[in-house]
A = this chain, B = another copy of it.
């Protein structure tokens, strides 16, 4: 250990009253420690000399050492552990983020696909992901929207939004719902940061820990993750090409007395099936008979070639709560979802929204509103539907060539739910594909009963690259 460069023993003095000299001494002590750290005489995690001991060694007052150590703490060079002393800061912290690699060792749980697809490095193909490639999204429209907001003197970019959320967007959403036969005043619409947050607020409002909730089997995997976060008892109902299996639905209502049933009635995730009008009527009657509520997640409605019977329209937002967002058709980078709900629940939901997120984003809502008001958005949707229909046909054909059989051919949307040939395990295939940088969505992440072990969900918009099918073929060979 060598002496501090600026404070050789011979030059040190007893602490004097001169503040400038005090400052110099503090700086010198701090410099001495910094130098020892740089020279690795003190390694990360090492305990620094005690204040008393170092003051004696350096021939300065204890308060000078305390001040020097404080300064080093403020710099992040050392840390203080109360009651224990000072230690060299642990890390040679990089200022740039190391990429978070895929977690190959993680079990196939409800969040597996989410993580895999969100964390995928550039170049990884994601036929298993739940959204469109950025090149399919209205980039130019969004940039126009941003410029319009930057220009608009009247746009408030600074303040919190009102508790329900941006009024012009709520008025527009109410109008859209009206066109779909869903009677909602703007005051019945609550903006949220996402459809997921919308569902989360509803769960907070309606669920007690241990309450039963019915979901479709298979269903969107995040429904399970979210409901588990609320300590709900999640009960699956087999899903058929026309909606839930009605006998099983009735039996589950009777057996579990669920508080609510959560469903994607149109272009369901993962199967692409749509509830028939007859099923929708029967679901509503059964729910009424058992006093269960229904949450209808309308996330894929804008992909429908023609509107399907909506539970919220049949019911008139009495027993049905409707949620949605623009993440799939406009942008997932802008967080903006919504809830349409009976008027007497609005205040309680808004209180929960304020308590747990202090409101939704005015900027996001303003931007969504600006893009929707632009006539291009509707044309974007038309083009999207046509493009998806082409991709659906092509993907079905390519999967067929590998022996995968679609469960049904959806009327539209992103997803094709297909079964591997007998004897193959989708999770094993997905793991092998991941090793070749292709993220698949194995069926059991969607299935509460774990009865979809041979299925995979394909996002047809993410299947353009022929490499997807080459890797899939190899992964199927094992």
A181 at the interface (CB under 8 A from B): yes
Chain B residues with CB under 8 A of A359: 118, 194, 335
Chain A interface secondary structure, helix, strand, loop or mixed? helix
Contacting pair A74 B372 (CB below 8 A): yes
Chain B residues with CB under 8 A of A193: 193, 335, 357, 361
Contacting pair A354 B225 (CB below 8 A): yes
Q: Mark A341-374, 1 if CB is under 8 A from B, else 0.
A: 0000000000110111111111110110000111
Q: Taking the nearest CB of chain B, how far is it from the CB of A117, in angstroms? A: 8
Q: Mark A259-291, 1 if CB is under 8 A from B, else 0.
A: 000000000000000000000010011001000
Q: Taking the nearest CB of chain B, how far is it from the CB of A426, in angstroms? A: 22
A424 at the interface (CB under 8 A from B): no
Closest to A103 in B: B347
Q: Taking the nearest CB of chain B, how far is it from the CB of A281, in angstroms? A: 5
Chain B residues with CB under 8 A of A351: 111, 225
Residues facing B in A366-396 (CB within 8 A) are 366-367, 372-379, 382, 385
Contacting pair A139 B157 (CB below 8 A): yes
Q: Which of B82, B226, B372 contacts A305 (CB 8 A)?
A: B82
Q: Mark A149-179, 1 if CB is under 8 A from B, else 0.
A: 1100000111111111001101110110011
A96 to B173 Cα, complex, angstroms: 11
Chain B residues with CB under 8 A of A83: 281, 285, 288, 305-306
Among A6-14, A54-62, A309-317, A450-458, the stretch in contact with B: A309-317
Size category of the binding interface on chain A: 35 or more
Interface centre among A81, A147, A170, A372 (most CB of B within 10 A): A81
A362 to B364 Cα, complex, angstroms: 11
Q: Taking the nearest CB of chain B, how far is it from the CB of A381, in angstroms? A: 9
Q: Which of B158, B288, B356 contacts A333 (CB 8 A)?
A: B158
A196 to B354 Cα, complex, angstroms: 9
Given A76-B179, A84-B306, A306-B81, residue A95 in contact with residue B335 (CB < 8 A): no
Closest to A319 in B: B82
A368 to B366 Cα, complex, angstroms: 17
Chain B residues with CB under 8 A of A240: none
Chain B residues with CB under 8 A of A94: 171, 185-186
Contacting pair B149 A146 (CB below 8 A): yes
Closest to A98 in B: B187
A142 at the interface (CB under 8 A from B): yes
A232 to B159 Cα, complex, angstroms: 30
A2 at the interface (CB under 8 A from B): no
Chain B residues with CB under 8 A of A119: 162-163
Residues facing B in A188-228 (CB within 8 A) are 193-197, 200, 204, 209, 222, 225-226, 228
Given A115-B354, A134-B156, A356-B196, residue A178 in contact with residue B333 (CB < 8 A): no
A71 at the interface (CB under 8 A from B): yes
Chain B residues with CB under 8 A of A441: none
A382 to B66 Cα, complex, angstroms: 13
Q: List 15 A-B contacts (CB under 8 A).
A: A80-B313, A80-B314, A82-B284, A84-B306, A90-B181, A91-B174, A93-B178, A97-B170, A134-B156, A143-B157, A147-B150, A225-B354, A226-B355, A228-B355, A333-B362
